[in-house]
Structure 1
Amino acid sequence: MTIHQTKPFDGQKPGTSGLRKKTPVFMQPNYLENFIQSTFDAIGGVAAKTLVLGGDGRYFGQEAAQTILKMAAANGAARVIVGQGAWLSTPAASNLIRVRKADGGIILSASHNPGGPNEDFGVKYNMANGGPAPESVTEAIYARSQEITEYRKLDAPDVDLAALGTVKLGDTTVEVVDPVADYADLMETLFDFPAIRALFAGGFRMRMDSMCAITGPYAREIFENRLGAAPGTVAHGTPLPDFGGMHPDPNPTWAHELMAEMTGENAPDFGAASDGDGDRNMIVGRGIYVSPSDSLAVIAANAHLAKGYKAGLKGVARSMPTSAAADRVAAKLGIACYETPTGWKFFGNLLDAGRVTVCGEESFGTGSDHVREKDGVWAILMWLNIIAARGQGVAEIVADHFRTYGRNYYSRHDYEALPKDVANAMLDDLRGRLTALKGVSTNGLTIESADEFSYTDPVDGSVSAHQGFRILFEGGSRAVLRLSGTGTEGATLRVYYERYVPGPDGLAEDPQEALAPVIAAAEDLVGIRAKSGRPEPDVIT
């Protein structure tokens, strides 16, 4: 064991999904080491503990994994289970923590953010339940990072992470495992693989865009090898350190190749995409894009068709900015529906307490109680199971859903890399006017209420304040504004627009046209474009 002297770095404060910075920041001498040692110290040390380690294959991941292995050994860890090549999708890491009853895990990823020498890198700690560390732990990590004076790191050669098996690193056992096998086996217990195989055998065509990110190996094994989809079904299936120059975020803007194929001639029956670390998904049918909020609602309404969910759902949870479409399903099913802040860690207590089965966020994340992370491949398999069971295509399933529940027209507008002072001043101004907005009318809409969302966890009573601004209009429309915690440059302002139409008519409008009155009202009330200096959003989903 070698003890290295160090001093604190400013800004090592984990966000909703760990610490994310530009890769060169993490590559500074002592930067990664400080954060890892702070994490170990904040959780009471790792002596005699078992950890899981892996990531999405982005640039600097291999080097970071070697550093963490040597630090875990120097800090007395009993065993570190690491994915071959330092690869593990985020949901697969969550599953491995749970299956192997590990004490926790470290995931090397910046999720859907770009990767490469000058792009983004990230590190987050997951707890023994497989879920992201709660705020109490991330606050402790940050506090420790601001006072750290030394870290422990073994002086030893690198471990061969290409070879499966176990080796010793000091007194620590390093076990290199297949990153795909355990996860794929879990999926077979949840879904009707024979029915999905029959779907593909009957000529059903699918396109899966893995965006040169981590789900490529998972998608090939599950869709092509185990389910019999045609070779080449998985596009961009080889993980690359820079994601092939792609922005690995599965939305219509960045997954434009998939969108073009699904709306072109001779389009496949079904399209899907996943992101950098495999926890997000996008669902597309022939000529139809399914919003994440609608996807969550459709899954909640049809989950009983999958063998792992035949007993029905205990409850549904959604993040506050996500549309209320899932609420309508929960009401019809007679089950609980919870509204939480953004961040998968807020679902963890509900899942562990058995209050909910399915959770989702508008930011292309959906999952269930099988792990404690959102799960892109799981969501795609759920859709395939629903299609096989119902004998309908995506467009038919969505149309039936709208006829039954009405439609929550919904869209998210992102203003990226804004100067932080500009973004904060805009929201500070709104905060100061919230109480005066009730009853104000604009663009044909009257404000029913306006607030800054605060969440009290129904399981442990913890309170999370300042979770975004809600402007609720009479009739079910609303606008939500919040700053994202996943960027590494400036501030990203996310604005969410929603309008409910009960049907049976008016369910086939273009979402942006249907939402035009809500968008105009929010602009009048907040002055987003004027104050940001942006004539339009950078990304619309």
Structure 2
Amino acid sequence: MTVTTISTTAFDHQKPGTSGLRKKTRAFMVPHYLENYVAATFTAIGGGAGKCFVLGGDGRFFNREAIQTILKIAAAHGAARVIVGQGGLLSTPAASHLIRHHGADGGFILSASHNPGGIDADFGLKFNAANGGPASEALTAKIHEATLAIQSYDIADVDDVNLDNIGQMQIAGMRIDVVDPVADYSDLMAELFDFDAIRALFAGGFTMRFDAMHAVTGPYAHRILEDILGAPKGTVVNGIPSEDFGKGHPDPNPIWAKDLMDLMMSDTAPDMGAASDGDGDRNMIVGKGTYITPSDSLAMLAANAHHAPAYKDGIAGIARSMPTSAAADRVAEALGVPCFETPTGWKFFGTLLDAGRVTICGEESAGTGSHHVREKDGLWAVLLWLNILAARDMTVAGVQADHWQRFGRNYYARHDYEAVETARADKMMAHLRTQLDDLPGQVHAGLTVTKADDFAYTDPVDGATSAAQGIRIFFEGGARAVFRLSGTGTEGATIRLYLEQFVGEGDHAAPVADVLEAVRTAALEISALAETTGRSVPDVET
């Protein structure tokens, strides 16, 4: 093997966010940019000699080229084996499962999740650790340090690998296994759920529409829903992965999955609608005329998980990200299990899952999952919903109504202000922080503030601390507003405003916007968002 050492210059903007490094695709295509980051990752993990890695991505533009580069750098670092998804494809939860299933030392996942794809859109790369979960904050800090210190990197001088044929090959002494990206994941799902009951559901005339949004979940949904579970052909739409996601935005929410939402709110709606995102780790659930918010979906799945074989003996606990509504907290209390509130980012669930402290986790950004992997898992959530519907012989709307009757309803919405000038967004957050001590007792829009803080978290397992994770403002009467800056964008800053109002009794059918109007007005008044950012309305409301 010939290994070439390439002199390079450090880039000063390769700090990983909550889901690895995300930048514009063209940034990753700049000479040495990707190579620097991959080499820095190997430095941070103590090298690659003798190690095994999993490698794949969501198929967006530049996915294949990036995989070839990573393979050559891995070979130069002495890696013993790399497991690659056929065609370079692996959903994020499938990659997590493969890491755990094969006892790999980690994995490289190429995706910008729900962000658009294409040469003028977004790209991303993250490293997952040996437990299958995203790198810890300590490891991402080491990666960042290595990106700032790098002066050269090693790369093997070998030909590109054929990624399209399943099989085994060797390059530069490194074994490469090109594997079916769906097979092992499908086997895992069959262990978790009552596939016979779901087959009977479809055989009995149950109808469904699954929108794969031209993203990586398409092959998984075709195989599992249609081929294995017997859903009629055509149940899965937009099921062929595309480099630019069909020129769409692969984010499963009512805005970007509008065609699905229009169908589900029409007279011709099937019994259930679902969608997943770019890399397959997020989901949307819809019934006939009924949208299930991600926060509610987490709570409903946790409350009903015992209907699936994998969870028949109950769950150890629930974890939710701080901005996610408190609906899951009420379920945990009823079940007599703990509910942990963590910062945003799936990596914060990892220690809790590894320690057996929780079984089901979720985020308001449409991510839910369990201890079966260390990532959120879109198709898993869909299958658990199907298992619950089959076991309870209820509609999606029926499960929702029953849940609200038992636990009450946490009315909830998220308002996103995208691509805000970073300095303006930082100024607004600073303005909020200066008010925290004085807010309790103040009245805004008729609501009295009871508490305000900048959320900080201490991991109950390893003691790691995370500060400044978002501003929380609580009001009398069960209302809450949360402000945080998102780490998943690639341009400017995204301000996320989360609004919540708990209603215990009643028919729970009031329009969401009406119920949340007072807390929305109070939040905007306190933050001076419009005055500071120049934005009077959000870009996206979900």
One-letter code of the match for 1:533?
A: G
Give 1:528 shift.
1.6
- Which residue pairs with 1:111 in the alignment? 113
1: CA distance between counterparts of 2:281 and 2:222? Answer: 16
- Which residue pairs with 2:414 in the alignment? 412
Give 1:515 shift.
0.5
Please list, as runs of the form range in 1=range in 2, the aligned pairs for 1:4-43 lying within 5 A after superposition.
4-43=6-45
- Which residue pairs with 2:358 in the alignment? 356
Mean CA deviation greater in 293-302 or 472-481? 472-481
- Which residue pairs with 2:60 in the alignment? 58
Aligned partner of residue 299 in structure 1, secondary structure: helix
One-letter code of the match for 1:509?
A: A
2: CA distance between counterparts of 1:264 and 1:277? Answer: 29
User: Residue deviations 1:440-496, cap 9 Å, x none?
Assistant: 012121000000000000001111000000001112210000000000000000000
2: CA distance between counterparts of 1:492 and 1:520? Answer: 20
Aligned partner of residue 311 in structure 1, secondary structure: coil
Establish whether residue 169 from structure 1 lines up as the match of residue 175 from structure 2.
Answer: no
One-letter code of the match for 2:25?
A: T
- Which residue pairs with 1:538 in the alignment? 539
2: CA distance between counterparts of 1:272 and 1:30? Answer: 40
User: Residue deviations 1:159-206, cap 9 Å, x none?
Assistant: 000011111110100110000000001000000100000000011100
Give 1:530 shift.
2.6
Please list, as runs of the form range in 1=range in 2, the aligned pairs for 1:245-324 lying within 5 A after superposition.
245-324=247-326
One-letter code of the match for 1:240?
A: S
Please list, as runs of the form range in 1=range in 2, the aligned pairs for 1:373-388 lying within 5 A after superposition.
373-388=375-390
2: CA distance between counterparts of 1:529 and 1:262? Answer: 34
2:445 to 420, 443, 446: 443
2: CA distance between counterparts of 1:363 and 1:32? Answer: 28
User: Residue deviations 1:361-393, cap 9 Å, x none?
Assistant: 000000000000000000000000010001000
Aligned partner of residue 515 in structure 1, secondary structure: helix
- Which residue pairs with 1:212 in the alignment? 214
1: CA distance between counterparts of 2:306 and 2:364? Answer: 22
Q: TM-score, normalised by structure 1?
A: 0.99
One-letter code of the match for 1:152?
A: D
User: Residue deviations 1:322-361, cap 9 Å, x none?
Assistant: 0000000000000000000000000000000000000000
2: CA distance between counterparts of 1:318 and 1:199? Answer: 30
- Which residue pairs with 1:79 in the alignment? 81
2:396 to 394, 401, 425: 394
User: Residue deviations 1:10-55, cap 9 Å, x none?
Assistant: 1100000000000000000000000000000000001000000000
2: CA distance between counterparts of 1:136 and 1:299? Answer: 32
Establish whether residue 144 from structure 1 lines up as the match of residue 156 from structure 2.
Answer: no
Aligned partner of residue 436 in structure 1, secondary structure: coil
- Which residue pairs with 1:452 in the alignment? 454
2: CA distance between counterparts of 1:406 and 1:27? Answer: 50
Aligned partner of residue 146 in structure 1, secondary structure: helix
- Which residue pairs with 2:513 in the alignment? 512
1:127 to 111, 126, 129: 129
Give 1:114 shift.
0.2
1: CA distance between counterparts of 2:239 and 2:507? Answer: 39
- Which residue pairs with 1:44 in the alignment? 46
User: Residue deviations 1:276-332, cap 9 Å, x none?
Assistant: 000000000010100000000000100000011001000000000000000000000
The alignment yields a C-alpha RMSD, in angstroms, of 0.6
Give 1:506 shift.
4.5
- Which residue pairs with 2:244 in the alignment? 242
1:337 to 333, 336, 339: 339
Give 1:531 shift.
2.0
2: CA distance between counterparts of 1:11 and 1:266? Answer: 49
Aligned partner of residue 451 in structure 1, secondary structure: strand
- Which residue pairs with 1:472 in the alignment? 474
2: CA distance between counterparts of 1:267 and 1:473? Answer: 39
One-letter code of the match for 2:66?
A: A
1: CA distance between counterparts of 2:151 and 2:526? Answer: 49
Aligned partner of residue 501 in structure 2, secondary structure: strand
One-letter code of the match for 1:528?
A: L
Aligned partner of residue 537 in structure 1, secondary structure: coil
One-letter code of the match for 1:25?
A: A
Aligned partner of residue 20 in structure 1, secondary structure: strand
1:229 to 217, 228, 231: 231
1: CA distance between counterparts of 2:481 and 2:431? Answer: 16
Stretches of 4+ aligned residues off by more than 3 angstroms:
none
One-letter code of the match for 1:104?
A: G
2: CA distance between counterparts of 1:121 and 1:240? Answer: 14
Aligned partner of residue 149 in structure 2, secondary structure: coil
One-letter code of the match for 1:529?
A: A
- Which residue pairs with 1:94 in the alignment? 96
1: CA distance between counterparts of 2:164 and 2:291? Answer: 39
Aligned partner of residue 22 in structure 2, secondary structure: strand
2: CA distance between counterparts of 1:521 and 1:340? Answer: 25
Aligned partner of residue 152 in structure 1, secondary structure: strand
One-letter code of the match for 1:7?
A: T
2: CA distance between counterparts of 1:162 and 1:523? Answer: 52
1: CA distance between counterparts of 2:517 and 2:384? Answer: 33
Give 1:254 shift.
0.2
Q: Percent identity?
A: 62
Give 1:529 shift.
2.2
Q: TM-score, normalised by structure 2?
A: 0.99
User: Residue deviations 1:406-437, cap 9 Å, x none?
Assistant: 00000000000000000000010110111000
2: CA distance between counterparts of 1:530 and 1:153? Answer: 51
1: CA distance between counterparts of 2:307 and 2:461? Answer: 29
2: CA distance between counterparts of 1:382 and 1:287? Answer: 20
One-letter code of the match for 2:315?
A: L
Which ranges of structure 2 fall in alignment gaps of 5 or more residues?
A: none
2:205 to 171, 193, 203: 203
Aligned partner of residue 141 in structure 1, secondary structure: helix
2: CA distance between counterparts of 1:387 and 1:81? Answer: 36
Please list, as runs of the form range in 1=range in 2, the aligned pairs for 1:360-375 lying within 5 A after superposition.
360-375=362-377
One-letter code of the match for 2:479?
A: S
